[in-house]
Amino acid sequence: HRHLLGVAGLSPADIKGLLASAEDAVSLSRQVEKKSATLRGRTQINLFFENSTRTQSSFEIAGKRLGADVMNMAVGNSSIKKGETLLDTAATLNAMRPDIIVVRHHAAGAVALLAQKVDCSVVNAGDGAHEHPTQALLDALTITRAKGRIEGLVVAICGDVLHSRVARSNILLLNALGARVRVIAPSTLLPADVERLGVTVFRDMRRGLEGVDVVMMLRLQLERMNGSFVPSVKEYFKHFGLDDAKLAYAKPDAVVMHPGPMNRGVEIASDVADGPRSLIRDQVEMGVAVRMAVLETLGRRLPNAA
């Protein structure tokens, strides 16, 4: 593949290959000297039209650890603010001869569109409610390291599935690797066609969490709710917030995940987020490793790659 636009374009073998190279990146990242020369001389541009803490910083660290020159485009200070379009911005950056552009955009499909207009590799760092493939890969790596496998595990994805590219990419990836995926959410926060993605739907946390190995919480994305359905935060936490009482329905060794950013006291209680079963910090560490694996894999396809 020249680009990474979504989990939908990956085979189980592609996914396993990326996870294996991410394991090597974890080892490199835990050394005192963290740098390799895999992408030396290459230029990576991070183009984020939406806010990000984890994804942007980990793509920057990942590129630098592989020896690339990384430029973070400050969209807020750019000529996009003067009305320059996405495609004109892409053509402008393309003329600077980057090797890889990492893009986050609020519109589903915008990253794929941009990929058609540039000569370099493009990585989707999140497009609207469509896909966030590196998040699903880092979640898979985190689960594999904690549980030793993905196949056969029962994973519950809970909360605002409707607005979540993280949920969509995770459902695709977990199904591809043989997990059994549940979603738990109120009907108002479920896409109409969610069952077609290969999940079992629950509308009650206690029932949905019974016997699960992995509990993945999602952020309530209030900024994407245009007044249509905005739940009361207090009511939402009561019914769908993960606290110790609801977590008790999962397997005794179940682990808890959240892609971040978290709304503490909205979808997850602080006791659980910071508790012994939380893998939230591991997810962040694995984020750097997975992004190194993705950049390295795409880098092998670049012209004149070693």
31 belongs to an annotated ligand binding site: no
Nearest-approach distance from CB 266 to ligand CP, in angstroms: 16
For ligand CP, give the closer residue by CB, 38 or 165: 165
Of the candidates 22, 53, 39, the one whose C-alpha atom is nearest the C-alpha of residue 99 is: 39
What track of x and - describes contact with ligand CP for positions 252 through 291 (by CB under 6 A)? Answer: -------xxx------------------------------
- How far is residue 102's CA from residue 73's CA, in Å, rounded to a whole number? 10
Contacts of 255 (CB under 8 A, 6+ apart): 143, 146, 147, 213, 214, 215, 277, 278, 279
| Contact (Cβ atoms closer than 8 angstroms) between residue 89 and residue 109 | no
182 belongs to an annotated ligand binding site: no
For ligand CP, give the closer residue by CB, 91 or 284: 284
Residue 177 — φ and ψ, nearest 5°? -100, 10
Closest-approach residue to ligand CP (CB): 55
Maximum alpha-carbon separation in the chain: 57
Residue choice 38, 135, 169, 278 for contact with ligand CP (CB under 6 A): 135
301 belongs to an annotated ligand binding site: no
Q: Is the dihedral of CA 247, 251, 253, 256 positive or negative?
A: negative
For helices 133-147 and 165-176, the axis angle rounded to 10 degrees is: 50
What track of x and - describes contact with ligand CP for positions 51 through 90 (by CB under 6 A)? Answer: -xxxx-----------------------------------
Binding residues: 54-55, 82, 104, 132, 135, 165, 219, 260-261
Binding residues for carbamoyl phosphate: 54-55, 104, 132, 135, 260-261
Which residues would be at the binding site for ligand CP (CB under 6 A)?
52-55, 126, 135, 259-261
